[in-house]
Structure 1
Amino acid sequence: MTSPTVRVILAINFNHDGAAVILREGRIAGFVCTERRSRLKKHPGLREDDLDELLDQAGVALSDVDHAMLCNLHNMDSPDIPALHGSDLKDTWFEFWVNQRNDTVRIRGNDIACTVNPDHHTLHAAAPYYTSPFESAAVLAIDPLGCRAFLGRGERLYPLKRGYDDWFNANVGYTSVAESLFGSSIVGAGKVMGLAPYGRTDDFDAVDWKAVSNFAELIALASANPVTLRVGEKELNATLAYCIQLGLERQLSAVLDDLAQVCARNNVERNLCMSGGTALNAVANQACFLASDFLQLHLHPACGDDGTAIGAALWHWHHVLGNPRLPHATPDLMYSVRQYGRRTVGAAIAARAGDLIVREAGDYLDATAQLIEEGATVGWYEGASEVGPRALGHRSILADPRSPTMRDRLNAKVKHREGFRPFAPSVLNEHAAAWFGLADSPFMLRASPVLSDAVPAITHVDGTSRIQTVGASDSPNFHALIQRFHQRTGVPMVLNTSLNTKGLPIDETPAEAIDTLLNTELDYLVFPGLIVTKPARK
């Protein structure tokens, strides 16, 4: 049953990875990720000017909003935010007031019907399910708060009581390992995944992971005969990272085995959707999916709590209001709404004119492909920024995947991060299967073996790579650039990492991209039709 009154939904995530979305007639009309605008990584909630930006993107006023979803409000606080920024940052939020019944929120004098703190894992699950092409699917939401499963049928999302939290503890263990090794759970988990293969050992292949019940037992297991890796002044226990990664994969496989049986008993198609912060673990995603009985996998690029705002709006529109499912094209999931045109780019360049050398390039795609072929590191900036934490070809640093020295050079001179951390390829989808045995992975959330030794810069120590496949309709200019590089080199991919430096969110504006060029040893920055560099050092 559809609602004749609700047409515009505002959904806000107040937890870390603050974000907000406006859904109009079931379509995303505006999206804001707070950290991209505040430049404070993991910034929770939404500020006044972020709300202004969101409304401007969507072309609506607050008086047009029919329902507001207030997600993770005061009940999902992470100690990492004060540790990172010296404050919980709640003082930066826009002003609002919720009535005693929690059914109305007042924002700037507008009283809006609202839902406060809908179930967290339901919101995680909703983002991939409602954007998937599946009529029915099993949906799994895993993060440090739990492992919860759902069945999706049509417009409805049904929670399952499976008791996974009784024994699934690798989600919590992963955060503990991240804190132990890198001082933070919410910014360290990705580092743990990258470090894990350095600590590989056959000693743990037969471990019963249900018997590892707490962090102390995990530490004892990994410390008996550890493989260590020196990073700066610190000696990292890589075996600890390997243990928790292996434990995650074993436990996730057990969950997927159970879920596949649930699907069979309930006549649900063998489709799988995954979300929650744990679904950012591309290695576990692909390994466990391949080992399962599921046939198709769909993920949303915003697996973290930024995606709960999107999930909340879609869940209310479809599950609560009963509106029919809509098809979602891949680019609509990958990129936000706000684009920065040539005028904004020109103003940013003019503001730093004395520090820059700028040349116009009619065929800037071929010129960029040549620069990459010749060994340059190139910032690539176009269109709207990416949704989620991975650069997908609009705010990227690109380089030659064939270079045996490029990984170390990028880590040390441009990204300013740990030397063990790997880089990903963006590969033409039509060639992906031949190079990686995998196609249709547009969000950089699945890792697979590299089937050639010709691309060492994107090959991790375990022989895998977290790939982004690029279709012609996903990002036409980015696809065309990779085609030009392929024509020049015979390699249908480029190395792709996010356009930012250590500790900062992905660059949002042209001015921020220029700052990255000027403050690192990045060689070039490319805007559509323009190639920007710095004067040679004297």
Structure 2
Amino acid sequence: MRVVLAINFNHDGSAVVLVDGVLTGYVCTERRSRLKKHPGLREEDLDAVLADAGVELRDVGHVLLCNLHSMDSPDVEHLHGSDLKETWLEFWVNQLADRVRIRDQVIPCTVNPDHHLIHAAAPFYTSPFDAAMCLAIDPTGCRAFVGRGGRLYELRRGYDDWFTANVGYTSVSVELFGSSIVGAGKVMGLAPYGRSDAIDAADWTAVRTYEDLTRLADAHPVPVLVGAAELNASLAYAVQIGLERQLDAVLADLAEVARRNGVPPNLCLAGGTALNAVANQACFSSSWFERLHLHPACGDDGTAIGAALWHWHHVLGNPRRRPPNAELMYGTARPSATDVTTAVREALSTHGGRVTATEHRDVGRAAAELIAGGATVGWFEGAGEIGPRALGHRSILADPRDPGVATRLNAEIKFREPFRPFAPAVLAEHSERWFGLTDSPFMLRACPVLKEGVPAITHVDGTSRIQTVTSEDSPGFHTVLDSFHDLTGLPMLLSTSLNTRGCPIDETPADALGTLLQTGLDHLALPGVLLSKRQ
């Protein structure tokens, strides 16, 4: 067997094709449907992932159907008025759940491989570690595994008996923002506004229930006005501190297990909770572990990747390989030059009174010059990002020295809450001097900003969630950063996702042009061409 297909049917629907153990096809359903958190896979998405991989359905030797009937949040129905299962491709599974019929093909299958196992598999099998402790946390549980060679073994540690911060974070997200799966990131951004010595010094052994948590926060309220709503930021801070304290305890226990069993100090984190970059870095830094690896798709979009890799290595026994970062960061669907040209022509034909197009041999240098002059620039190149973070292929870029640009981005371009922070992309060779960290290619680690002068990417608590960029990972994006460094002496740019509130990250040139035309964004850089708003 050479070809494995895995599909995630939960929110953040996705599919992956492995050919000889290499990810050759990947789709995230929401990027194509334009419906955020779209679960499952549609017929056209199956066509796309097979075409990207260069295979046909009859070539597939095994199918993994992940997270069937386990949609763990009402958010999809709340967002779209439907659970969207009616959009799924048609398939039939036999009574033994070992064969699936898709279209006219009957293929061996695995139904619902363990959810936390396939979460953990994504970072472990893509890590440089021969052995590691692997931890997967999301609102449905906290589970640990030992990875050795090509296999993953579950640890029976009973964390779910006392690890409650994952559920508490979901509850706070719903209370403050009316949503769990789209509110958690907002809670993390709001948390430092609610910091207080009283909450830090509280008797946390007495905080056992959600009611205990809310009583603690209500006793020390920090109101933050967001539109017409007044939010108690101390509730966000309390649940963030609770998460970090419980994660500290888990990592201390895992360290003891690792020492007893001769596992080196390597840690892999996964699950939706691993998107909490603040907790990731704070708890890892204070732990016994020395090396950390995460996959950029920590959420359920990454379970399809983890399932395919687990089947290839753990079940079939195939040897591991260390994929380059670029293979983990970016998908497989690359818009062609024809796609770009067509989108530009249509924009000029329809909106020629609003935009101009200028061809550039070095569009990265041109973009950097505009940003240095105070402009905001959408940067679009190659395949879109895997996972929810913009990693320089679908990004909005701005000057991190500008103290007013964060307010402008939130109000006029992103249309989101004013407390939401922005992150930097920094040249890797300069990262340690600015942030004390050299290895954060997926923007999943937050650390202190060590130097002044970059207010737009410095959060209220003095930290920033960084992406370290090398020319090997993203040559085109590296050129923009390098050019900005040459022009200004600053080795970083503010980088946020190319989209607006409530919309998935832009996937196609047409999507990106829509963002340019519908927002206060000044320019859009596409391969070889720069589109600019007419003054």
- Output the TM-score relative to the length of structure 2: 0.98
Residue 40, structure 1, aligned to residue 61, structure 2? no
Deviation at 1:208, TM superposition (A): 4.3
CA distance in 2, matches of 1:416, 1:301: 25
In the alignment, which residue of structure 1 is the partner of 2:440?
441
Deviation at 1:78, TM superposition (A): 1.9
CA distance in 2, matches of 1:234, 1:373: 36
CA distance in 1, matches of 2:365, 2:508: 24
CA distance in 1, matches of 2:106, 2:206: 52
Instruction: Pick the aligned partner of 2:176 from 174, 177, 181.
Output: 181
Stretches of structure 2 that go unaligned for 5 or more consecutive residues are none
Instruction: Pick the aligned partner of 1:325 from 310, 320, 323.
Output: 320
Say whether the 8 Å CA contact 2:206–2:212 is kept in structure 1: no
Letter in 1 for 2:184: A
SS of equivalent to 1:55: helix
Residue 279, structure 1, aligned to residue 263, structure 2? no
Deviation at 1:207, TM superposition (A): 3.3
Say whether the 8 Å CA contact 2:198–2:220 is kept in structure 1: no
CA distance in 2, matches of 1:332, 1:518: 31
Instruction: Pick the aligned partner of 1:148 from 120, 134, 143.
Output: 143
**1:207-246 correspondence to structure 2 within 5 Å:** 207-246=202-241
Task: Identify which range, 60-69 or 346-355, moves more after superposition.
Answer: 346-355
Letter in 2 for 1:303: C
In the alignment, which residue of structure 2 is the partner of 1:127?
122
Task: Identify which range, 319-328 or 113-122, moves more after superposition.
Answer: 319-328
Residue 345, structure 1, aligned to residue 344, structure 2? no
Say whether the 8 Å CA contact 1:34–1:44 is kept in structure 2: yes
In the alignment, which residue of structure 2 is the partner of 1:393?
392
CA distance in 1, matches of 2:403, 2:164: 38
Stretches of structure 1 that go unaligned for 5 or more consecutive residues are 1-5
Instruction: Pick the aligned partner of 1:69 from 57, 64, 67.
Output: 64
Task: Identify which range, 222-231 or 74-83, moves more after superposition.
Answer: 74-83
CA distance in 1, matches of 2:118, 2:341: 40
Say whether the 8 Å CA contact 1:121–1:148 is kept in structure 2: yes
SS of equivalent to 1:339: coil
In the alignment, which residue of structure 2 is the partner of 1:56?
51
CA distance in 1, matches of 2:519, 2:441: 28
Deviation at 1:271, TM superposition (A): 0.1
Deviation at 1:268, TM superposition (A): 0.4
Say whether the 8 Å CA contact 1:10–1:22 is kept in structure 2: yes
CA distance in 1, matches of 2:75, 2:327: 31
**1:90-169 correspondence to structure 2 within 5 Å:** 90-169=85-164
Deviation at 1:210, TM superposition (A): 4.6
Letter in 2 for 1:119: D
Letter in 2 for 1:454: G
Residue 419, structure 1, aligned to residue 414, structure 2? no
Letter in 2 for 1:249: E
Letter in 2 for 1:501: T
**1:228-377 correspondence to structure 2 within 5 Å:** 228-354=223-349, 355=351, 356-377=355-376
CA distance in 2, matches of 1:366, 1:353: 23
Say whether the 8 Å CA contact 1:209–1:251 is kept in structure 2: no
Once the two structures are superposed, residues 91-147 of structure 1 have per-residue CA deviations (whole angstroms, 9 ceiling, x without a partner) of 000000000100000000100000000100000000000000001000000000011
Letter in 2 for 1:217: D
Letter in 1 for 2:409: L
Instruction: Pick the aligned partner of 1:86 from 73, 81, 87.
Output: 81
Letter in 2 for 1:294: F
In the alignment, which residue of structure 1 is the partner of 2:458?
459
- Output the TM-score relative to the length of structure 1: 0.98
Letter in 2 for 1:47: R
SS of equivalent to 1:497: strand
CA distance in 1, matches of 2:282, 2:342: 47
CA distance in 2, matches of 1:132, 1:365: 31
Say whether the 8 Å CA contact 1:167–1:210 is kept in structure 2: no
CA distance in 1, matches of 2:362, 2:150: 46
SS of equivalent to 1:409: helix
CA distance in 1, matches of 2:406, 2:272: 26
SS of equivalent to 2:332: strand
Give the superposed CA RMSD.
0.8
Deviation at 1:327, TM superposition (A): 1.3
In the alignment, which residue of structure 2 is the partner of 1:378?
377
Deviation at 1:440, TM superposition (A): 1.2
